[in-house]
Structure 1
Amino acid sequence: MSNNKKKINFNHSFIFFFLINIFCILSFKFSNLKISSILCLLLILIIGVSHGSLDHIKGKKILDKLKIQSTYIFYIIYVLISVMVIVTWMLLPSMTLILFLIVASYHFGKEDTDFLINDKSYLNHLLYFFKGILIILAPLYFNFQETIEIFKLLLIDNEVFYSSLSFIETNRVIQIGIICSTLSSIYLFLKNFEIKKFVIFLDYFSILILNYYLSPLLAFTVYFCFLHSIRHSISLAFELDTYSITNGFKLFVKKALPLTILTAVLCFIALYMLSNSYNLDSAILKIIFIGLASLTFPHILLEYFLEKNEK
């Protein structure tokens, strides 16, 4: 069954790589065609957020292990962590952003690669971080100023932070980070070699192509929704039905729908409130990135405790 999962993920990466090449070329050819930020938000809410909408089922496994019957405890803790992240971002935006980028790098690297790797060593976890950091560094390399403008919209207004970015730009830190990401991908590919691990390079070049042709927001949206989230959804579908991926997906959609809808409703309420103080694009950027941060931290903590529980 593990081989079937690898095969499906390989086919998914190949199709994604093929389609984004066509999409990026068309976007470049018709450069006057603009994709609105509201469409990016809708895609993230519909496809991106849904891959974490089964966290309540995973949380129940941990509660059962701890012999806690009330599922409300899980929801209360999960929401409190999310709210705490948002409050911390308001108070210490620079520190919270940096921490989020570090955690997100590890999360993206691990979730996009872990299904290929049997070894759970500490070295591999470090390699996952360096592999995933490409998602953060690629927009800075290809669209530095535009990415900085996004940081500014995320309440980052700190001289130390911007002087650090200037240091990063002038001392080729971004290039060095991309080289480290490249080397980690090569190592993960060659260690215990099998042809299906070529997925690593398909994903690597897909991320570079997306950020070369597209704006940072659109590149991230396409990656997050159609590569990262769908891959994670495939894993969840296998967990729900190991014998039929089609039925597994049907079960996944049914179980993910309630929390996905709830998250979308809360996001649009927040968007309405923010639109009173900011223009629509600025409000959407805040919703996307601060909102994702508030969901990412409890999601990753849950995955961590679940893995510990399984061990």
Structure 2
Amino acid sequence: MTFGLRLQGRIFCAVSLVLLLALLAGFKAEPGRELIAVGALVLLLGVPHGSLDVVVARRLLGLTGIRAWTVFSLRYVGLAALVVGLWWVAPTVFLSAFLGFSALHFGADPEAGVAWPTRALYGGAVIVLPALCHGAELQRLLGLVAGPASAAFVMPALRLLAAPWLCATVLACLLEARRSPLAATELAALAAVSTAAPPLVAFAVYFCAMHSPRHILRTLPSRQAADARRALAMALWPTVAVFIAAVGAGLLASEMPLETWVLQLGFVGLAALTLPHMALLERVRRASRPAPPGQ
């Protein structure tokens, strides 16, 4: 684990500790301001980290030329459009798949060497553990994203899993501490925030202080500053395009309640970008896999 990733992990743990202390002191944000702050943070930090997919495609898949980039872009946008279409026609299937794929994707955050059961617990923590102490609020938020019926379908499973998930996570922290105290502390911080904090706040802290910066640190070239600047310049255009699309969606949904609009734009947008993002990472993983002996 590089120095940058270790530092980022410690910052996440420190931010989590500050939040937990604030909650113990009785701090509670006004709901409207909390929603605006969370939406802005996720949009500002979430979109750029996804935009680095163009860097991954160029550097690891060797995409060059207009034709290759056109095919890549059409496939990427097409997968995103399929997710939005699924949300529109089958919201319960969308919500179930989104939560499952998100847990799988988040499980890639821990450092190399972390066992797969611990990764599974880590990936699902911010999704499952809020149901333990904030079940009603979590169901309300999921209902705003995908409809009350869809939220009512998934919540019994989340409530059933929450307590065993927390117990298994505590055990995983104790076992992981023997190998990597930092990895164990990161998992403990995530579990504590996901259990104690309101669901939106817990997600924002995790996504903005852990998932997004960790992906950026792993993606940006580390050899030369010039390489990093070129990578950031490449990621600028997808970021601008997504912001323009967000503004357009906002104008089309101007009569929708603010909370519903922000949640749907944020989480349906994240879901739409998560599928092609995961597909790209899987393609890169297969491309970088060593060929079998004799080939």
TM-score by length of 1: 0.81
CA distance in 2, matches of 1:223, 1:294: 19
The reply to whether residue 15 of structure 1 matches residue 15 of structure 2 is no
Shift of 1:147: 0.3
- Is 1:162 aligned to 2:152, yes or no? yes
- Which residue number corresponds to residue 261 of structure 1? 240
Q: Secondary structure at the residue paired with 1:158?
A: helix
In structure 2, the partner of 1:284 is 262
Report the alpha carbon displacement of residue 269 of structure 1 after superposing the two structures with TM. Answer: 1.7
Superposed CA deviations along residues 118-162 of structure 1, whole A, max 9, x for unmatched, are: x9xxxx445422321111112111211000001111123338x62
- Of the three residues 52, 55, 73, the one matched with 2:53 is 55
Q: 1:147-186 CA deviation, whole Å, 9 max, x = no partner?
A: 0001111123338x626634653xx421112333444455
Q: What is the CA-CA distance between 1:116 and the residue it aligns to?
A: 2.5
Q: CA 1:301–1:168 in structure 2 vs 1: closer, same or farther (change >3 Å)?
A: closer
Aligned counterpart for 2:132 among listed residues 141, 149, 161: 141
Report if aligned partners of 1:138, 1:207 keep a CA contact under 8 Å in 2.
Answer: no
Note the alpha carbon deviations across 1:236-255, whole angstroms, 9 max, x for none: 22xx232x5x6665444333
Partner AA of 2:142 in structure 1:
F
**Residues 265 and 182 of structure 1, relative CA distance in 2, 3 Å threshold:** farther
- Mapped to 1, the partners of 2:104 and 2:9 lie a distance apart of 19
Report SS of the residue matched to 1:275: coil
Mind listing any 5+ residue stretches in structure 2 that lack a counterpart?
290-295
Contact 2:38 2:201 in 1 (8 A): yes
Aligned counterparts of 2:28 and 2:59: Cα–Cα separation in 1: 50
State the AA in 2 paired with 1:256. Answer: A
Tell whether the 8 Å contact from 1:236 to 1:252 is kept in structure 2 after alignment. Answer: no
Q: How many angstroms apart in 2 are the aligned matches of 1:32 and 1:54?
A: 34
Cα 1:299/1:254, change in 2 over 3 Å: same
Contact 2:58 2:64 (C-alpha < 8 Å) held by counterparts? no
Identity %: 21
Contact 1:131 1:184 in 2 (8 A): no
Q: For residue 299 of structure 1, report the CA deviation from its aligned partner.
A: 0.1
Cα contact 2:130–2:196 (8 A) shared by 1: no
Instruction: Structure 1: give runs of 5+ residues left out of the alignment.
Output: none
Change (3 A) 1:188 1:31: closer
Q: Distance in 2 between matches of 1:175 and 1:67?
A: 52
Higher deviation after alignment, 124-133 or 260-269: 124-133
The residue type paired with residue 112 of structure 2 is L
- 1:179 pairs, out of 167, 175, 182, with 167
* Structure 1 residue aligned with 2:292: none
Cα offsets for 1:164-219 (capped at 9, x unmatched): 634653xx4211123334444555554xx3xxx32222222222332345321122
CA distance in 2, matches of 1:164, 1:39: 27
1:70 alignment partner, SS class: helix
| 1:301 alignment partner AA | A
Structure 1 distance, partners of 2:152, 2:176, is 34
Instruction: Report the residue type matching 2:141 in the other structure.
Output: I
CA distance in 2, matches of 1:67, 1:266: 25
